Amino acid sequence: MSTHKTLTFAFMDPPFESERTVTFFRLLDAALERGAHVRIFAYEGAVGLSFARQAAHGNAVHNRDLDSEKHPLTREWIASLQHKAAAKGLTFEWINCGLCVDERGVNEVIDGCGRGGPPDLWRYATEAFNTLTIGTR
Amino acid sequence: MKALQVIDQAFRTTTEEQDDAILWLTRSMRGAGGDLMVLLKGHAVHYAVLTGRQPPLTLGNWQQQQPAELHRDISGLVESGVAVYAVEEDLIERGLARLPLQGGVQAIPRTRIPALYEQADQVWHW
Amino acid sequence: MSDYLFIQSQDPFTEIATTSQYQLATQLSQAGNSVTVLLVQNGVVPARRNARSEAFDQLLQSGVTVIADDFSLHQREIADSDLKDNIAVTSIHKVIDAMLAGHKVIWN
């Protein structure tokens, strides 16, 4: 079902700390599946999701080295969704709250992720067909 | 578009960020013209009754200089035209019901929350 | 009147606020709104047959539509046949469908 409507999502959790992060990315993937343009406002810890310097590692407890562990990285999840959107002719925009980026020192982000602030969330929300916010705990 | 901000946690970011992350976000969006309402529930009802600045944190020889002023954040929202509500039962449960509410904050019973949800075009639960 | 979808990630065993979240869903339904609760993450835990949550069981009897995320169920090895009655299994796409239909979609 291709609708070309735009959906906005706001999220707060960093990588590796919460099941909410996985659900959030599943929702983004589902939104693209349903033919929606997607806009994300990453707030607080969520600005770490696009950090370019995330690095995979092996796991001795799993008895797997770097190559075989294939450790998930959220920056790769974002990149994968960017590619999926492009392949479907959809837009996938990601803005990190700039002050949140500064205080966490995660200024190096992957391509396609930008910097902004709360007015951008309001803009994203008012321009979108619908918005979902997922807070943290 | 009118968006209701539902806040049910408190003191989670107030020391490190020197404000509540969602109250701050709401004030910023209001500054950008956002049409917003705020519902304080759960522990967030504390924000409706605080009167002073948060205590400064001291760690080693590091001393906090600008602790959060949550009472001013609430009054700032009210003055900017954002309706702020606090859930009565949550105030009562926490022993806060006899404390004066911040000016302009309206206490509402849980039974009125559905009407508030209906009033908003979108409900953003943080 | 509106259509609501609550994405219920909180559960009554660890978050006491969950009970009032269930009650709000019920109140909105009783007020004439169409209300669906999608259980995700640990929100699916009270959905397992023989799980003990009076509040959740009341939600199931309330007229609110309760559905459960297949991935969350699979993670917890809750088969369809392990679910309490009146709970349908669905995919996370249900959230997007609701958003695209203009429903009020709210994360708990």
- Maximal C-alpha separation, chain C: 37
> How many domains does one find in chain C?
1
Q: Are strands A6-11 and C104-107 parallel, antiparallel or unpaired?
A: unpaired
pLDDT over 90, % of chain A = 98
Q: Are strands C34-39 and C3-8 parallel, antiparallel or unpaired?
A: parallel
* Token output for C10: 């909180």
A38, closest residue in chain C (CA to CA): C96
Which subunits have 3 or more CB–CB pairs within 8 Å of chain C?
A: A, B
Measured between beta carbons, the chain B residues lying within 8 angstroms of C103 are: none
What is the C-alpha to C-alpha distance for residues B47 and B71, in angstroms, rounded to an integer?
7
- Tell me which residue in B32, B122, B124 faces A118 most closely, judged by beta carbons: B32
CB-based contact A43 B13, cutoff 8 Å? no
**Are residues A95 and B4 in contact, defined by beta-carbon separation less than 8 angstroms?**
no
**Are residues C21 and C61 in contact, defined by beta-carbon separation less than 8 angstroms?**
no
C89 to chain B, closest Cα gap in Å: 24
* Token output for C101: 């239909």
Q: What's the pLDDT band for A10 if we cut at 50, 70, 90?
A: very high
A96 to chain B, closest Cα gap in Å: 13
Average pLDDT, chain B: 97
CB-based contact A130 B122, cutoff 8 Å? yes
Q: Does C100 touch chain A (CB under 8 A)?
A: yes
Q: C85 CB contacts (<8 Å, ≥6 apart)? A: C60
Domains annotated on chain B, with CATH: 2-53+66-125 (3.40.1260.10)
CB-based contact B22 A135, cutoff 8 Å? yes
CB-based contact B32 A135, cutoff 8 Å? no
Q: B61 CB contacts (<8 Å, ≥6 apart)? A: none
C54 to chain B, closest Cα gap in Å: 20
What is the C-alpha to C-alpha distance for residues B81 and B65, in angstroms, rounded to an integer?
29
- Residue C22 belongs to domain spanning: 3-107
What is the C-alpha to C-alpha distance for residues A129 and A124, in angstroms, rounded to an integer?
10
> Three-state DSSP class for A116?
strand
pLDDT confidence of residue A3: 55
Question: Domain residues of chain A, as ranges?
Answer: 74-128
Residue C54 DSSP class? H
pLDDT, tens digit, for every residue of B12-34? 999 999 999 999 999 999 999 99
What is the C-alpha to C-alpha distance for residues B87 and B112, in angstroms, rounded to an integer?
9
- Tell me which residue in B1, B3, B28 faces A119 most closely, judged by beta carbons: B28
pLDDT over threshold 90, residue B39: yes
CB-based contact A36 C96, cutoff 8 Å? yes
Measured between beta carbons, the chain A residues lying within 8 angstroms of B22 are: 135
Q: Which of A84, A105, A93, A85 minimizes the C-alpha distance to A14? A: A105
pLDDT over threshold 90, residue B110: yes
- What CATH number should be reported for the domain holding residue C79? 3.40.1260.10
pLDDT over threshold 60, residue A2: no
Average pLDDT over residues A32-48: 98
Which subunits have 3 or more CB–CB pairs within 8 Å of chain B?
A: A, C
pLDDT confidence of residue A119: 97
* Residue that has been written with the tokens 């911040």 in this structure: B102
pLDDT confidence of residue B36: 98
pLDDT, tens digit, for every residue of A73-132? 999 999 999 999 999 999 999 999 999 999 999 999 999 999 999 999 999 999 999 999
pLDDT confidence of residue A91: 98
pLDDT, tens digit, for every residue of C9-58? 999 999 999 999 999 999 999 999 999 999 999 999 999 999 999 999 99
What global pTM score does this model have?
Answer: 0.96
- Tell me which residue in C27, C33, C107 faces B125 most closely, judged by beta carbons: C107
Q: How far is CA A84 from CA A32, A33, A35, A91, A97, in A?
A: 7, 9, 11, 10, 24
pLDDT confidence of residue C91: 98
Measured between beta carbons, the chain B residues lying within 8 angstroms of C31 are: 114, 118
CB-based contact B117 C4, cutoff 8 Å? yes
Residue B96 DSSP class? -
What is the C-alpha to C-alpha distance for residues A9 and A12, in angstroms, rounded to an integer?
10
pLDDT, tens digit, for every residue of C46-94? 999 999 999 999 999 999 999 999 999 999 999 999 999 999 999 999 9
Classify residue C37 as exposed, middle or buried by CB count within 10 Å of its CB (0-12, 13-18, 19+): buried
Q: What's the pLDDT band for A1 if we cut at 50, 70, 90?
A: very low
